[in-house]
Amino acid sequence: MRAPKQRPARMLVVVALLICILLFGFSLCVGRYPLRLSALIARDPMTTRVFYTLRLPRTVLAATVGFALAVAGFVYQLVFRNPLAAPDIIGVSSGAGTGAAVAILFFGGGAVVTAVSAFTGGITAVLLALVIAGVGKKKQIATFVLSGIAVNALMQAALMALKLTADPEKQLASIEFWTMGSLANSTLQKLPWPLLLMGCGLAGIFLLYRPLLFLTLGDDEARMMGVPVERLRRVVLLLATLIVAAAVSVTGLITFIGLIAPHLARLLTGSSKKESCLLAGLLGSALLLAADCAARGLLGTEVPISILTSLLGAPFLVWLVCREERVP
């Protein structure tokens, strides 16, 4: 396969940052209630309320969650050395979905309870996958992948069992809507703790990024360079999972952002350096901001965000397949 053309990574990061800023400003203006800058400066009560209560929290959350999911996806792809790896691969998403379903069925389905339960479910699923992988004699990437697939199947079965017992008129609809993802209920009160957890996870990943790159050379080569491969892999996977679990706990499941953005970043830069990881995060922010604007503006009603991200992701995967077929 022909190597992708190298491009200045820093220039691409700056361009992506400018696009994110433009989409951030545009997102603040999209909605049923029109916002005017003059009214906001004049502190019009209704305009101020809509801006600070609805638009600003939603836009901040979309930008942050998009960045977090993309960086986590980039890390999964590095660790598993698979460009199609995503948060689903070790059961994070299915675990979070199961946790949310438990909260909806048994604890009333309040926003805070559902978020905490979804976060706990995602973390629990990955911890279980790591425990299963640790039992095996061979500490290889395939062991982690197979453990994740097994846990993902287990969580999916648990989620289907919970749906089977749910009230079709209320609880089942709530579970299904949560699994489709939405930023509609974003508020200032929901932002602090998920932003804190995502920030801690992102900081840890960027601090460990240099030794993480050695994993791309292979386990034996990384050990020769003094990298504690198994320990580093577990720590980084837990940090990425912390990011994903914190993100989806407040938005529901959002598909394809953690797959498209990192893959696109590597196609543009041709490398896996730290600038590529940062570019992936900015592309994730831009994609989710654009999808959220479309979710509010395309139809007269709110469209679940994963419908739009899937509509973006499926053609992208088809394009990748066609591209691979054409490239000698």
- Domain with residue 168: its CATH number is 1.10.3470.10
- The parent domain of residue 53 ranges over 9-326
- 196-238 pLDDT per residue, tens: 999 999 999 988 888 888 877 777 787 787 778 788 888 898 8
Three-state DSSP at 6 gives coil
**1 in any annotated domain:** no
- Cβ atoms within 10 Å of 5's Cβ, excluding its own: 9
Residue 83 and residue 266 in contact, taking contact as beta carbons nearer than 8 Å: yes
Distance CA 135, CA 102 (A): 28
| Assigned domain for 4 exists | no
Would you say residue 3 lies in a domain? no
Residue by residue, pLDDT tens for the chain (328 residues) are 444 444 587 889 999 999 999 999 999 888 777 777 777 777 878 888 888 888 899 999 999 999 999 999 999 888 887 777 777 777 888 899 899 999 999 888 787 888 889 999 989 988 888 888 777 666 667 777 788 888 889 998 999 999 898 888 788 888 888 888 888 878 888 888 889 999 999 999 988 888 888 877 777 787 787 778 788 888 898 899 899 999 988 888 898 898 889 988 888 887 667 788 899 999 999 999 999 988 887 776 778 888 888 888 888 878 777 765 443 4
Integer CA distances (angstroms), 311 to 55, 226, 265, 308, 316, in order: 24, 44, 19, 5, 9
Q: How far from 320 is each of 7, 21, 83, 316, CA to CA, in Å?
A: 19, 28, 11, 6
Structure tokens at 238: 């837990």
pTM attached to this predicted model: 0.89
Among 31, 5, 19, which Cα is nearest to 183's? 31
Whose CA is closest to 255, among 65, 103, 107, 108? 65
Task: Answer whether residue 28 is part of any domain.
Answer: yes
- Is residue 58 a part of any domain in this protein? yes
If one counts the domains in the chain, the total is 1
Coil/strand/helix, residue 222: helix
- Strand, coil or helix: 177: helix
Count of alpha carbons within 13 Å of 61, Cβ hemisphere only? 32
Maximum alpha-carbon separation in the chain = 67
In 3D, which of 82, 221, 88 has the Cα closest to residue 142? 82
Is 2 within a domain? no
d(CA 156, CA 130): 18
